[in-house]
Amino acid sequence: MTDNTTGTHGAVLQDSAPAPDGPLVELRGAGKSYGNIRALHGVDLKVHAGRVTCVLGDNGAGKSTLIKIISGLHQHTEGEFLVDAQPVRFTTPREALDRGIATVYQDLATVPLMPVWRNFFLGSELTKGPWPLRRLDIARMKETADQELRHMGIVLDDLEQPIGTLSGGQRQCVAIARAVHFGARVLILDEPTAALGVKQSGVVLKYIAAARDRGLGVIFITHNPHHAYMVGDHFSVLRLGTLELSAERSGIGLEELTNHMAGGAELAALKHELAQVRGVDVEELPEEGDLSAPVATSPEGTP
Amino acid sequence: MSMAQQAEPAVGRPPASGPKPTDGRTARRPPALRLLARPEVGVFLGAVAVLVFFLITAPPVRDGSSMANILYQSSTIGIMALPVALLMIGGEFDLSSGVAVISSALTASMLSYQLTVNVWTGVVVALIVSLAIGAFNGWMVMKTGLPSFLVTLGTFLILQGANLAVTKLVTGNVATDDISDMDGFDQARKIFASSFDVGGVQVKITVLWWLVFAALATWVLLRTKYGNWIFAVGGDKDSARAVGVPVRFTKITLFMLVGFGAWFVGMHNLFSFNTVQSGEGVGQELIYIAAAVIGGCLLTGGYGSAIGPVFGAFMFGMVQQGIVYAGWNPDWFKAFLGVMLLGAVLINLWVQRTATRR
């Protein structure tokens, strides 16, 4: 705990990381129960370097539980969780970070009243000097933070300003830049565009693509299929704690993805109900037959 | 819905970093304004105002020895206000700090006297006991997730009761026996309760310790990793944990730091008065907290400084002694205290709003 000089410090990633054969992170039939509640069950997921894996799902579908397992906040209770083909079980977020898995949380994991540069290096501070006098290397931290932010296209005049004064999109980008700087190989983004406006969402999506092009494996959690389809290479849709759909980009269109996301089969059933009500136009809604992609039948799914 | 297939992402290559472009949206605020936003500036101005006020209204204050007395009064509050302030920046409270001072002094005094050992044995055991009380507070708060207000209120009552009961049980009296003729007493007194001479004025050594501790606390807070963690765990505990800050370690050690402060002040009390009244210390914890808050520490954590509480404690010492020197009824002290506290809280509120304004 006292020795925080972990190997990831200052590990600046090369622009094109060598693509390994296997996935960086893999879940095999993973699940999580809180007491008698099964929040997540039988989920398979693979994250490859230089690819964006999108995890979609409605509120309560189990997205947050999924990333909490991967980021080390919670432990899975069933199935397997592999990093570099080795089974792992993280007990703290620190362990996940040390394996190169960085998470940008919905609430961004920033401390609003602290300056930008302190937030950038929080938990992985650079120090200098021998022990009793070991102190923060403030000049180097400020310079590095400024460089990394500029590299991601974020220009801030004053790194001393509290991070709480930045806009939501800017804070998101600082958090992403931080994760990239600390040698993240896998970047988990928890609904990064949920609270943002149209233009800011675009900026964040650009950074997701930039991170992917730097060779990171990205897990992009969202409930917006349009955003997912902009950058995604693989799409997994969660529903009621299980995998409803798992498809490559080549195997699925935006419309279909949207339908799955919106509840797929449920929506088709709803269409028939709505058709009974006068004045509701159901022409645009999909039929059940339109859902051609492989639908994983969910055992807990209520029809 | 058919905009689908052309949705290939537009990847912006990072712009070439040439001469640094600026954002241009954040106008540089005038230095005076930026200075005012520092947590300790408000209290510094307040302390100066109080000093000037008493210099004018109470002529005896202008004397060197009265000033030394005021500084001494301030130092006994200030030494405790420092760890209490750090703890507050770290997002927690310690209501037991006042009686913990007495607990520490009682432990050292009774242990040395009853076992007839060198007082240093008592001093060391008292340190261990004080740190243990702090560790217990911290561990309980972290383990249960209860507000530290409740946990330390419990400790406060336990210690208050135990102080009286154990002292009566051991000595048959509410005060401990005089230990001034015991081995090591003079030595310990030199460190905890002696005086030194500055230009013909006797200054208590606690004033020196106070300033040394304040400098140390400032350095730790602003220049070390641990200081960074203090701000982080107070500002947003969950965020701090998520980025790898050892939250539990940081908070427990902060509580132990308060224990250390209680031990130091306890030892000072013991070696300057030779005996300890077991019922004292109640209410002091609020004085420490008030000094920290007046010193610009945010009650909710995450913001503050170590130098602010120094001025906060000085204001207290100044008012407390100044009222006496001015020949007023000392009962007014608490009323002054309340006014100062309210003023400080209002300034803090304003600062926080300014700092986080979008």
pLDDT of amino acid B37 = 63
Select from A16, A25, A17, A66 the least CA-distant residue to A241: A66
A102: contact with B, CB 8 A cutoff: no
Number of structural domains found in chain A: 2
B354 CB within 8 Å of a chain A CB: no
Position B340 confidence tier, pLDDT thresholds 50, 70, 90: confident
In a domain, B34, yes or no: no
Nearest to A113 among B227, B355, B357 (CB): B355
Within a domain: residue A300? no
Let me know: does A53 contact A20? Beta carbons within 8 Å. Answer: no
Is A220 within 8 Å of chain B by CB? no
Nearest CB to A122 within list B14, B22, B245: B245
Give the pLDDT score at A5.
Answer: 40
pLDDT for A86-145, tens place per residue? 888 888 888 888 888 888 876 667 888 889 999 999 888 888 888 888 888 888 999 999
Chain A: nearest CA to B222, how far in angstroms?
8
Q: Compare A231 and A153 and report the one with higher pLDDT.
A: A231
Residues in chain A closer than 8 A to B358 (CB atoms): 165, 167
In this predicted model, which residue has the larger pLDDT, B289 or A300?
B289
Residue B174 DSSP label: S
> What size, in residues, is chain B?
358
Q: Is A217 helix (H, G, I), strand (E, B) or coil?
A: strand
**Within the 280-299 window of chain B, which residues sit less than 8 Å (CB to CB) from chain A?**
298
- Domain containing B268: what range? 86-350
Task: Identify whether residues A257 and A274 lie together within a single domain.
Answer: no
User: Is A5 inside a domain boundary?
Assistant: no
Query: What's the whole-number mean pLDDT along residues B118-141?
Result: 95
Reference B263, options B128, B120, B147; nearest CA is B128
Mean pLDDT of chain B: 86
Q: Kindly list the residues from chain A whose CB atom is less than 8 angstroms away from the CB atom of residue B236.
A: 109-112
Per-residue pLDDT reduced to its tens digit, A53-86: 999 888 778 888 888 888 888 888 888 898 888 8
Chain A: residue whose CA lies nearest to B21:
A155
Kindly state the average pLDDT of the residues B136-157.
95
- Output the pLDDT for position B143: 94
> Does A33 score more than 80 pLDDT?
yes
Question: Can you give the pLDDT at residue A148?
Answer: 84
The encoded tokens of residue A230 equal 């902009």
Q: Which residue does chain A place closest to B241, by CA atoms?
A: A93
Residue B21, in any domain of the structure? no
**Test the A interface: residue of B225, B253, B357 with most A CBs within 10 Å:** B225
Sign of the dihedral defined by the CA atoms of residues A81, A83, A87, A88, in that order: negative
Helix, coil or strand: residue A244: strand
Task: Say yes or no: A100 and A207 in one domain.
Answer: yes
Helix (H) or strand (E) holding A63: helix A63-71
A297: confidence class by pLDDT, cuts 50, 70, 90:
very low
Q: Does a structural domain hold residue B338? A: yes
Query: What is the rounded CA–CA span in Å between residue A287 and residue A302?
Result: 18
Residue B15 lies in a domain: no
Q: Which of A259, A199, A200, A190 is nearest to A229 (CA)?
A: A259
Verify that A249 and A120 share a domain, yes or no. Answer: yes
**Do B356 and A113 count as a contact with CB atoms less than 8 A apart?**
yes
pLDDT above 60: residue B21: no
pLDDT band at B192 (very low <50, low <70, confident <90, very high): very high
A156 to B357: CB separation less than 8 angstroms, yes or no:
no
The answer to whether the CB of A160 falls within 8 A of the CB of A114 is no
User: In terms of domains, do A153 and A271 share one?
Assistant: no
Q: Do B244 and A4 touch (CB under 8 A)?
A: yes
Query: Is residue B262 in some structural domain?
Result: yes
Same domain, A181 and A267: no
Which of A114, A153, A205 minimises the CB distance to B232?
A114
CATH number at residue A213: 3.40.50.300
Predicted local distance difference test score (pLDDT) of residue B339? 87
- The H or E element containing residue A26 is strand A25-34
Which tens digits make up the pLDDT trace of B26-58? 555 666 666 666 667 778 888 888 899 899 998
8-state DSSP, B28: P
- Residues of chain B with Cβ-Cβ distance to A210 below 8 Å are 11-14
* Averaged pLDDT of chain A: 78
- Summarize pLDDT for B211-230 with one digit per residue, the tens: 999 999 999 999 999 999 99
Would you state the pLDDT for residue A288?
A: 58
User: Could you say which residues from 211 to 250 on chain B have a Cβ atom under 8 Å away from some Cβ of chain A?
Assistant: 219, 223-225, 227-228, 231-232, 235-236, 238-246, 249
Whether B13 shows a pLDDT value over 70: the answer reads: no
User: What distance in Å separates residue A206's CA from the closest CA in chain B?
Assistant: 6
A169 contacts in chain B (CB < 8 Å)? none
Asked if B15 and A165 come within 8 Å (Cβ–Cβ), the reply is: no
pTM summary value: 0.78
| DSSP H or E run through A45 | strand A37-47
Residue A95 located in a structural domain: yes
Average pLDDT over residues A26-39: 86
Query: Does the structure show a pLDDT above 70 at A4?
Result: no
B31 lies within 8 A of chain A by CB: no
3-state helix, strand, coil split of chain A in percent (to 5) is: 35, 25, 45
| Residues above pLDDT 90, as percent of chain A | 4
Dump pLDDT digits (tens) for A200-257. 788 788 888 888 888 888 999 888 888 888 888 999 888 888 888 888 888 888 888 8
Q: What percent of chain B has pLDDT over 90?
A: 56
The partner residue sitting opposite B4, judged by closest CB among A92, A114, A254, is: A254
The CA distance from B335 to B338, in Å, is 5
The answer as to whether A19 is a domain residue is: no
User: CA B60, CA B327: separation in Å to the nearest integer?
Assistant: 10
User: At residue A261, does pLDDT exceed 80?
Assistant: no
Domain holding A144, by residue range, is 25-262
What per-residue confidence (pLDDT) applies to A14? 39
Whether residues A139 and A276 share a domain: the answer is no
Q: Torsions phi, psi of B123, nearest 5? A: -60, -45
* Interface test with chain A among B238, B243, B247, by most A beta carbons within 10 Å: B243
Q: Radius of gyration of chain A from Cα atoms? A: 21
Domain count, chain B: 1
Q: Chain B 41-70, CB below 8 Å of chain A: which residues?
A: none
Please give the helix or strand (H or E) that residue A147 lies within, else none: helix A138-151
Q: How far is A300 from chain B (nearest CA, A)?
A: 31
Angstrom distance (rounded) from CA A284 to CA A295: 21
- Number of A:B CB contacts under 8 A? 146
In a domain, A166, yes or no: yes
How many whole angstroms separate alpha carbon B205 and alpha carbon B212? 11
Q: Is B339 exposed, middle or buried (0-12, 13-18, 19+ CB in 10 A)?
A: exposed
A231 touches B: beta carbon within 8 Å: yes
User: Looking at the domain assignment, is residue A235 inside a domain?
Assistant: yes
Residues A173 and A270 in one domain: no
Q: Is-contact A166 A116, C-beta < 8 A?
A: yes
Which residue of A136, A162, A230 is in closest CB contact with B356? A162
Find, among A3, A183, A22, A181, the residue nearest to A101 by Cα. Answer: A183
Nearest-CA distance from A136 to chain B in Å? 5
- Cβ of A134 under 8 Å from any chain B Cβ? yes
The distance from CA B50 to its chain's CA centroid, rounded to whole angstroms, is 21
Calculate what percentage of chain B has a pLDDT beyond 70. 86
Q: How confident is residue A290, by pLDDT bands cut at 50, 70 and 90?
A: low
Q: What phi and psi, each to the nearest 5 degrees, are found at residue A136?
A: -70, 140
Contacts of A280 (CB under 8 A, 6+ apart): A274
Q: Is the pLDDT of residue B239 over 90?
A: no
When pLDDT is averaged across residues B292-309 and rounded to a whole number, the result is 89
A20 reaches B (C-beta below 8 A): no
The letter for the amino acid at A109 is: A
Domain membership of residue A288 (yes or no) is yes
Cα three-residue angle A212-A53-A50, rounded to 5 degrees: 25
Backbone angles phi and psi of A135, in degrees to 5: -140, 170
